[in-house]
Structure 1
Amino acid sequence: MRIVTTDDSAHVAAGGTGSDSDNTGAEPNDSPQAALGEATFATPVLDRRHWARIVLGPTAVLTVLTALLGFMYLAYIADPEKNLHDFPIALVNSDVGDVLGSGEQRKQVDFGKQVTDALVAGVPADQIDLRVVGKSESEQLLRTGQVYGAIVIPGDFSKRLGILGTGSIVPGEMERPIITLQSNPRMGAYGVGIVQRIGDQALAEVDKQVGIQLTEQVRATLAETPAGAPPPQVSGAAMITLESPIDVVAQEFRPLPSGSGIGLTAFFFSLLLLLAGMVGAMVIHTMIDSQLGFMPTEYGPWSVHYPPTPISRFRTLLIKWGVSALVAVVVSLVFLVVAQAVGMPVDNPLALFLFSVLAMIAVGWTALMTLAALGTAGLLVNLTLFVILGLPSSGGTVPIEATPTYLAWLAEFEPMHQVFLGVRSILYFDASYTAGLDRGIWMSLLGIAIALVLGTIITRYYDYKGLHRKHTAAA
């Protein structure tokens, strides 16, 4: 085989051999390369337009993609607490109040309500969605992944504060009243950290205000000592306790079992499904096109290009969708076996397997539809849709409520977030529909429906217009 340049072609057209020699009667080429049957290649002539395509094209595409990639990934991780918005935390006030003093000094107090009002007023509403609920509702919200944590004021809160004030004057044991700060580790380690920081900051201010009020009450009691009676003494340790009377106890609600990767196994399992679906679609697209003769097959130095198969674009896409569905079943089973082998707790293996198949089909069919519609450009669209925009808006590492608002908007429809919600519900929340499994299922079905409709319409339109897949020389 010989590739000739423009000048060579002109020479051949004039009756020459295309060589540099003007001797038309030259002897045949006896070089070792010719003897071995090896092809010789002339140096191609590339004009400026060709060089622009070769050099500037990839550079421009990669510049745009990497700029988008860097912005999306660094923007969502740089300062999550600055981006905090609508972060849901439950507030439970079980305090029944108490009666302090005696005789004419008796009065009804409800320190729990005061703390609740102070927290509602002090917590920034644009950042924290503080939900004042009952204890049973709070536990249900935590159990279904609707809140990241809860602040719980116990029923004897006022009583214990009253005892603390009296105990500072009357000798005896004193116990500081407790407020429990519950975190939900099944919502992710980053969410737990945010809950603890928010709780510490808010309750520290409440503790200070309650301490001021309690100290003033004790001092007022001391001032009422009858004339001639020795004034009661308050020790320095008791005064320090009065100034900071609340004991904040951190507690995990339903701690995760070992092997859960501090709440990250759901994210990485979802990432596996997404990558398997997207990369699998690219592999299926390339290998089937090679077998049908639409592109060459290359393995190292070996290359073969089968004759093009007379098949419509629509039938080609149907074949790819069928292979993708089969691969989804096999790969989902492989992932489940690997999860069991590495010790990852999976309490609902059947639910995880079925949802994995559904999610992979949704991702794979959407990616194949994009490739069928856009060709090579579909690779860039899939990369942007599933990876560049998908991972930062997934909510798997940093909570959606702690990311920029545009990522929260992307999470409404980005495939990665829907897959993550379904997997997290199955692994951590007993496959509860209200914990995100319902959304994961319906959004996956919606993705499949969109892929079927658009893929059918676009490929049938191409076939109707006679836009068949055949080689066309570039200008």
Structure 2
Amino acid sequence: MAAPGETFHVIRPRDTYVMTPVPPFRVLRAKPLWMANGVITGVLALLFAVFYVGANIDPADHLTKLPVGLVDADKGATVGGKQVDLGARITESIKKSTASGGRIDWKVMDEREMKEELGKGKLFGALVVPADFTSSATALTGTAPTATPARPTLTVLTNQSAGSIGSGLARTATTRAAENASLQLGKELTAQIGTAQARLPAAARVLLADPAAVTVEDGHPLGSHSGLGLTAFYYALTLVVVGMLAANVISGQVDHALGYTHNDMGPRRLHRPLIRATRVQTLAISGTLMAGLSLLMGTLVMAGAVGIMGMDASHLPLLWLYSVCAVAVTGIGALTLLAVFGTPGMLLVTLVFIGMAVPTSGATTPLEALPGFYRFLAEFEPLRQITGGVRSILYYDAQGDAGLTRGWVMMAAGLVAAALFGFGVLGWYDRKGLHRIPVEPAPGKTAVPA
């Protein structure tokens, strides 16, 4: 019912309105307007802060079992008639050390396995003990006064393709482990030679306390136009955002084409005759349009990134197909949420495809450095699955077990889930008579706003 003194416009056939003298700014006095918008925007702001800042506020503290390779290529040496293998002692002490507090998961492997795992993004780094480590280290205990022995090295390998933050965390932890191992080895060597240390050259005595030099190298080099390992993330994010925004555009344009909504073009308001369609039919029309236009959008995304901006990329036909499918699946998923939930669906789309997706993608901060809740979200969040596939294509020679197979499987699962949920719920709406048919008052009757 209308409150005393309030007047409303009259809705007449063909959408012709009679204006009332009520000032437009009067709506700002309505408490429900402020409360509804305040709750929605406030919750949205809070959720984005929690998802974005909360996931990345302290990755080192949340780090758990970051996979790092540990390679012992040392061939050992014969010292005093005994076979000595310092590399095995170092790797064993590093693996058993509790200094990392469970933050590093040391994977003992040979050099071939290590290169394969780095080349699939399954390792964030590696520590390599070279073949001549024992011979170089034991040479420091020699007593020749004229020559300074070459210092043995421990090599830390990084892997930017697995994520810059993850690679940095692995580098820091691995370098610290290598330095601690060198100091421990220095104590052992000093204890072994005892008083003979006094006969060593001055330079050799200094090196003996900390015998190993730690060098850092790139374990899986990328091209100069790979964004330091971040182009895969930004490319995948582009695909998701394009699909999400396209869903919003297509949803509105289909409603306009069917005559359910107006379409404002500058000062003009266009309204087509009503074509009655069920909710299921509307979603089917929108989904078909999305699938067809994904061919265009996926092509233009790849053309812009690779052709215009010069992003390093290989397997271009596969990248094109994956791009088209990613846009289509994202768009159809967003259309489903919009169709099922209506206006609030856009907020859900934003949260699912952007708010919860970006911090759980594993592209910037590794999943091993996220709190448990975010690692749970990462198991099904679309951006993480799409990023894994793009990363495999761009950095890892399109190997299936480098993330491409999971990407395809999860996209297919997402498409099936969207179809079942969308058509299932909308079919129920239709059967209950909850049709999207505008009800117009009879001529001359007043319409009371909700």
Q: Any idea what SS the aligned residue of 1:398 has?
A: coil
User: How far apart in 1 are the matches of 2:359 and 2:86?
Assistant: 42
Q: Which residue number in structure 2 is paired with residue 175 of structure 1?
A: 150
- Whether contact under 8 Å (1:86, 1:127) holds in the other structure is yes
Question: How far has the Cα of 1:417 moved from its partner?
Answer: 0.3
Given the alignment, which residue of 86, 92, 97 partners 2:65?
Answer: 86
- Whether contact under 8 Å (1:278, 1:364) holds in the other structure is yes
- Whether contact under 8 Å (1:5, 1:44) holds in the other structure is no
Q: Which residue number in structure 1 is paired with residue 13 of structure 2?
A: none
Q: Which residue number in structure 1 is paired with residue 445 of structure 2?
A: none
Pair 1:394–1:8, CA change in 2 (3 A) = closer
Given the alignment, which residue of 95, 112, 136 partners 1:136?
Answer: 112
User: How far apart in 2 are the matches of 1:70 and 1:456?
Assistant: 33
Given the alignment, which residue of 329, 333, 339 partners 1:362?
Answer: 329
Q: Which residue number in structure 2 is paired with residue 348 of structure 1?
A: 315
- Whether contact under 8 Å (2:378, 2:384) holds in the other structure is yes
User: How far apart in 2 are the matches of 1:8 and 1:433?
Assistant: 66
Q: Which residue number in structure 1 is paired with residue 368 of structure 2?
A: 401
Q: Any idea what SS the aligned residue of 1:259 has?
A: coil
Given the alignment, which residue of 120, 124, 145 partners 2:100?
Answer: 124
User: How far apart in 2 are the matches of 1:348 and 1:7?
Assistant: 70
Deviations 1:317-350 (A, max 9, x none): 1110011111211011001111222111111111
- Whether contact under 8 Å (1:5, 1:42) holds in the other structure is no
Question: How far has the Cα of 1:7 moved from its partner?
Answer: 4.3
User: How far apart in 1 are the matches of 2:36 and 2:7?
Assistant: 29
Question: How far has the Cα of 1:259 moved from its partner?
Answer: 1.0
Q: Which residue number in structure 1 is paired with residue 442 of structure 2?
A: none
Question: How far has the Cα of 1:398 moved from its partner?
Answer: 1.5
Question: How far has the Cα of 1:448 moved from its partner?
Answer: 0.6
- Whether contact under 8 Å (2:141, 2:200) holds in the other structure is no
Aligned identity (percent) is: 32
Moved more, 45-54 or 60-69: 45-54
Q: Which residue number in structure 2 is paired with residue 251 of structure 1?
A: 217
Amino acid of the residue matched to residue 403 of structure 1?
L
Q: Any idea what SS the aligned residue of 1:56 has?
A: helix
Question: How far has the Cα of 1:474 moved from its partner?
Answer: 5.2
- Whether contact under 8 Å (2:125, 2:156) holds in the other structure is yes
Question: Is residue 74 from structure 1 mapped to residue 66 from structure 2 by the alignment?
Answer: no
Q: After superposition, where does 1:70-219 map in structure 2 within 5 Å?
A: 70-101=49-80, 106-122=81-97, 123-124=99-100, 126-166=102-142, 168-219=143-194
User: How far apart in 2 are the matches of 1:93 and 1:87?
Assistant: 19
Deviations 1:414-467 (A, max 9, x none): 001001001111011111111100001000000111111111111211111111
Deviations 1:291-330 (A, max 9, x none): 2121221123321333332111111111100111112110
Query: Rg larger in 1 or in 2?
Result: 1
User: How far apart in 1 are the matches of 2:308 and 2:28?
Assistant: 55
5+ residue gaps, structure 1 = 13-37, 223-231
Q: Any idea what SS the aligned residue of 1:41 has?
A: coil
Question: Is residue 289 from structure 1 mapped to residue 255 from structure 2 by the alignment?
Answer: yes
Amino acid of the residue matched to residue 270 of structure 2?
V
Given the alignment, which residue of 268, 273, 282 partners 2:239?
Answer: 273
Deviations 1:139-194 (A, max 9, x none): 1111111111111112221111111211x545324111111111112112222221
Question: Is residue 308 from structure 1 mapped to residue 274 from structure 2 by the alignment?
Answer: yes
Question: Is residue 56 from structure 1 mapped to residue 35 from structure 2 by the alignment?
Answer: yes
Amino acid of the residue matched to residue 341 of structure 2?
L
Q: Any idea what SS the aligned residue of 1:172 has?
A: coil
User: How far apart in 2 are the matches of 1:50 and 1:9?
Assistant: 16
Pair 1:163–1:46, CA change in 2 (3 A) = closer
Pair 1:424–1:469, CA change in 2 (3 A) = same
- Whether contact under 8 Å (2:148, 2:201) holds in the other structure is no
Question: How far has the Cα of 1:235 moved from its partner?
Answer: 3.1
Question: How far has the Cα of 1:253 moved from its partner?
Answer: 1.8
Q: Which residue number in structure 1 is paired with residue 297 of structure 2?
A: 331
Pair 1:333–1:370, CA change in 2 (3 A) = same
User: How far apart in 2 are the matches of 1:61 and 1:52?
Assistant: 14
Q: Which has the higher contact order (CA 8 A, sep 6+)?
A: 2
User: How far apart in 2 are the matches of 1:295 and 1:52?
Assistant: 27
Q: Any idea what SS the aligned residue of 1:293 has?
A: coil
User: How far apart in 1 are the matches of 2:6 and 2:195?
Assistant: 109
Q: Which residue number in structure 2 is paired with residue 29 of structure 1?
A: none
Pair 1:402–1:9, CA change in 2 (3 A) = closer
Question: Is residue 422 from structure 1 mapped to residue 401 from structure 2 by the alignment?
Answer: no
Q: After superposition, where does 1:373-412 map in structure 2 within 5 Å?
A: 373-412=340-379
Question: Is residue 440 from structure 1 mapped to residue 407 from structure 2 by the alignment?
Answer: yes
Question: How far has the Cα of 1:76 moved from its partner?
Answer: 2.1
User: How far apart in 1 are the matches of 2:19 and 2:418?
Assistant: 47
Question: How far has the Cα of 1:47 moved from its partner?
Answer: 10
- Whether contact under 8 Å (1:6, 1:45) holds in the other structure is no
Amino acid of the residue matched to residue 231 of structure 2?
T
- Please report the RMSD computed on the Cα atoms of aligned residues, expressed in angstroms: 2.5
Pair 1:283–1:59, CA change in 2 (3 A) = same
Q: Any idea what SS the aligned residue of 1:132 has?
A: strand
User: How far apart in 2 are the matches of 1:6 and 1:128?
Assistant: 71
Deviations 1:54-79 (A, max 9, x none): 11101111111111101111122222
- Whether contact under 8 Å (1:5, 1:45) holds in the other structure is no
User: How far apart in 1 are the matches of 2:22 and 2:352?
Assistant: 40
User: How far apart in 2 are the matches of 1:251 and 1:46?
Assistant: 65
Amino acid of the residue matched to residue 137 of structure 2?
L
Give TM-score scaled by structure 1 length. Answer: 0.86
Question: How far has the Cα of 1:397 moved from its partner?
Answer: 1.4
Amino acid of the residue matched to residue 180 of structure 2?
E
Pair 1:44–1:341, CA change in 2 (3 A) = closer
Amino acid of the residue matched to residue 56 of structure 2?
I
Amino acid of the residue matched to residue 356 of structure 1?
S
Structure 1 residue runs of 4 or more that deviate by more than 6 Å after TM superposition = 44-50
User: How far apart in 1 are the matches of 2:339 and 2:229?
Assistant: 37
Q: Which residue number in structure 2 is paired with residue 17 of structure 1?
A: none
Give TM-score scaled by structure 2 length. Answer: 0.90
